[in-house]
Amino acid sequence: MPNLRIDRGEVLRQVIAQVEAKLSEMRAGYGAARDAVLSSPHVMKGKREVFGQEAAYLANALALNIQEREYDLKVLRNLHLPESPERVVMGCVVGVGPDAGPVESLYFLLPVCGGMEVSTHGGEVIVRVITSGTPIAKALLGKLVGDEVTLPTTPPRVNTVRSLA
């Protein structure tokens, strides 16, 4: 992966767009599950008639997931990205790779949405979102460009912080 300039604001907008799309899907699913609960009989005629009960469980689970995603959106929309970070902090995009080589992996440190991936530069570059509680984030936080970092992979891999945006 070539050393490219990453626009953190654009990557954040893409993360927000992914969360909004997922939230829209969940709301549609919640509506369907709620309608299934309302249209099923409230009294089971046999022990195998559990459709209404299953739909209720699904609706409750989706409602909780919707609340979590709404919270994520609120956090992301109120996040202030650091202006010119010198060290790895929350809101940074960090590139790591071998000491003498190019950036191999890009990580975006955010307080929520860990595990998401966002593509940039026409899909050529993937940025992975990590949260502060992950082992990779713990290894990266506070590092400077040029610092060695041991990534918790199997087996552990020593890399260098190659870029910081």
Residue type, 27: R
CA dihedral for 151, 7, 91, 145, sign (positive or negative)? positive
Beta-strand pair 105-109/125-130: parallel
- Asked if residue 70 has pLDDT above 80, the reply is yes
Look at 11-25, 58-72, 109-123, 147-161 and tell me which has the smallest mean pLDDT. Answer: 147-161
The candidate with the shortest Cα–Cα distance to 15, out of 76, 64, 78, is 76
pLDDT in tens, 38-63: 776 655 565 556 666 788 888 889 99
Whether 77 and 16 have beta carbons less than 8 Å apart is answered as yes
* Predicted TM-score (pTM) above 0.85: no
